[in-house]
Structure 1
Amino acid sequence: MNENRITFLSLTLKAIVVHTLTYFVVGFVAFSVFNYTADFSSPQMRTWMRQTDDPIIALGPALQFIRGILFALAFYPLREILFGRKNGWLVIWLLLVSLGIFSTFGPTPGSVEGAIYTTLPLREQFLSGGMLEILSQSFLFSGILYYWVNHPEKRWLNWVLGILFALAILMSLMGYLAAAGYMAIPA
Structure 2
Amino acid sequence: MTIYIAAATVFLFIQHRLPESSRIALDFYEPYQLGWYGAVNKLFVAVVLALVLYPFRRLLDDRRRGVLVLFTALWGIALLGNLDPRPGSIEGMIYTTTSLGEHLLVLLVGGLQFLLVSWGFVRWQSSAQSGEKLPEQDISPEYPSGGRLKGYLLRFTLVHFLVYQIVGSLFYQISGYEEALATMEAFSLWRPLESLTMVAAVFFGQIARGMLLALFFSPFYKVFISRKQGWLMLFGLLVGLKVFSTSSLIPESWSFEVQELLVGLPEVFAQTLVFALLFFSWERRRIGKKSEVALS
Provide TM-score, normalisation by structure 2. Answer: 0.44
Identify the residue that residue 138 of structure 1 maps to in structure 2.
Answer: 272
Q: 1:87 to 1:53 in 2, by over 3 A?
A: same
Alignment pair present for 1:152 and 2:294:
no
Report the alpha carbon displacement of residue 38 of structure 1 after superposing the two structures with TM. 1.3
Identify the residue that residue 256 of structure 2 maps to in structure 1.
Answer: 121
Identify the residue that residue 223 of structure 2 maps to in structure 1.
Answer: 81
Listed one character per residue, the Cα deviations across residues 90-128 of structure 1 (whole Å, up to 9, x for unaligned) are: 111101111110112xxxxxx227946x998110233x1
Identify the residue that residue 112 of structure 1 maps to in structure 2.
Answer: 248
Q: Is the 8 A contact 1:37 1:51 kept in 2?
A: no
In structure 1, which of residues 100, 109, 126 is the aligned counterpart of residue 242 of structure 2? 100
Report the alpha carbon displacement of residue 6 of structure 1 after superposing the two structures with TM. 2.7
Identify the residue that residue 4 of structure 1 maps to in structure 2.
Answer: 145
Q: 1:43 to 1:125 in 2, by over 3 A?
A: closer
Listed one character per residue, the Cα deviations across residues 55-105 of structure 1 (whole Å, up to 9, x for unaligned) are: 34433134211121122112211211121111111111101111110112x
Which stretch shows the higher mean deviation, 146-155 or 31-40? 146-155
Alignment pair present for 1:40 and 2:176:
no
Report the alpha carbon displacement of residue 13 of structure 1 after superposing the two structures with TM. 0.5
Q: Distance in 2 between matches of 1:78 and 1:113?
A: 25
Q: Is the 8 A contact 2:181 2:187 kept in 1?
A: yes
Q: Distance in 2 between matches of 1:150 and 1:5?
A: 14
Q: 1:152 to 1:18 in 2, by over 3 A?
A: same
Q: Distance in 2 between matches of 1:101 and 1:154?
A: 31
Q: Is the 8 A contact 1:26 1:136 kept in 2?
A: yes
Listed one character per residue, the Cα deviations across residues 121-163 of structure 1 (whole Å, up to 9, x for unaligned) are: 110233x1311001100111111111111222799xxxxxxxx
Q: Distance in 1 between matches of 2:224 and 2:277?
A: 11
Q: 1:114 to 1:58 in 2, by over 3 A?
A: farther
Identify the residue that residue 175 of structure 1 maps to in structure 2.
Answer: none
Identify the residue that residue 26 of structure 1 maps to in structure 2.
Answer: 167
Q: Distance in 2 between matches of 1:66 and 1:119?
A: 35
Q: Is the 8 A contact 2:163 2:275 kept in 1?
A: yes
Coordinate RMSD, CA, aligned = 2.7
Structure 2: 5+ residue stretches without partners:
1-142, 290-296
Structure 1 runs of 4+ off > 6 angstroms?
A: none
Alignment pair present for 1:72 and 2:214:
yes
Report the alpha carbon displacement of residue 18 of structure 1 after superposing the two structures with TM. 0.2
Structure 1: 5+ residue stretches without partners:
105-110, 156-187
Q: 1:48 to 1:115 in 2, by over 3 A?
A: farther
Identify the residue that residue 161 of structure 1 maps to in structure 2.
Answer: none
Instruction: Output the amino acid matched with 1:123.
Output: V
Q: Is the 8 A contact 1:3 1:83 kept in 2?
A: no
Q: 1:57 to 1:131 in 2, by over 3 A?
A: farther
When the two structures are aligned, how many residues end up with a matched partner? 146
Provide TM-score, normalisation by structure 1. Answer: 0.68
Q: Is the 8 A contact 1:3 1:80 kept in 2?
A: yes
Q: Is the 8 A contact 2:225 2:283 kept in 1?
A: yes
Q: Percent identity?
A: 24
Report the alpha carbon displacement of residue 47 of structure 1 after superposing the two structures with TM. 2.3
Q: Distance in 1 between matches of 2:240 and 2:155?
A: 22
Which stretch shows the higher mean deviation, 63-72 or 21-30? 63-72
In structure 1, which of residues 14, 23, 34 is the aligned counterpart of residue 155 of structure 2? 14
Larger radius of gyration: 2
Q: Distance in 2 between matches of 1:33 and 1:94?
A: 26
